Structure 1
Amino acid sequence: MPAGQTDFDDVSFDLISVQYHSLKAGHDYGQYVRDAKNAGLDDIASFFEEVMSQDAERAKRCHAFLKELGT
């Protein structure tokens, strides 16, 4: 549903979308870490952990912005 059809302004909708996708991706990356570790590819597992951490930070920033906006 487009942002214009909700009670949220476009910026709030966009932040919620980025937050959702960051959290969803972080969940998926957990499986990627396990797969890489199971394959004995610790350098790749570390890469996936780094990406997961970046998404977690992105979701936290979205949350802080939404709080500032009173959403």
Structure 2
Amino acid sequence: MTSGGTDFADVTYDLISVQYHALKAGKHNDQYIRDAEGAGLDDVAGFFREIQEQDAARARRCHEFLRRLSGTEQGGPATR
């Protein structure tokens, strides 16, 4: 797979992208939870909380991988 419109695979770039989108989604989930709670839809708010937890777990996992790959060949050009 290529990353960022380049001709090389860059696992670090890919992980950073997934982490960024997970963290950004987490920020939006706060509003979704408030909207559902304001509408009295506790089950929907609970669903949004589940998504928020999954996004946070995804971001943490990316962070762990990034720490492990830092400075290695497997991390791609961004870590060299």
Shorter-chain TM band: 0.7 to 0.9
CA distance in 2, matches of 1:21, 1:2: 15
Q: State the percentage of identical aligned residues.
A: 59
Q: Which has the higher helix share?
A: 1
CA pair 4-65 structure 1, distance change in 2 beyond 3 A = same
Give, in angstroms, the shift of residue 3 of structure 1: 6.6
The secondary structure found in structure 2 opposite 1:19 is helix
CA distance in 1, matches of 2:17, 2:34: 26
* TM-score when normalising by structure 1: 0.88
CA contact (8 A) 1:3 1:13 kept: no
CA distance in 2, matches of 1:2, 1:23: 19
Give the counterpart letter for 2:42 in structure 1: D
Q: CA RMSD in A?
A: 1.8
Task: Give the alignment of 1:37-52 within 5 angstroms.
Answer: 37-52=37-52
Superposed CA deviations along residues 18-64 of structure 1, whole A, max 9, x for unmatched, are 00000000000110000000000000000000000000000000000
Give 5+ residue unaligned stretches, structure 1.
none
1:2 pairs, out of 1, 4, 7, with: 4
Aligned length: 68
Structure 1 consecutive aligned stretches of length 4 or more whose deviation exceeds 6 Å = none
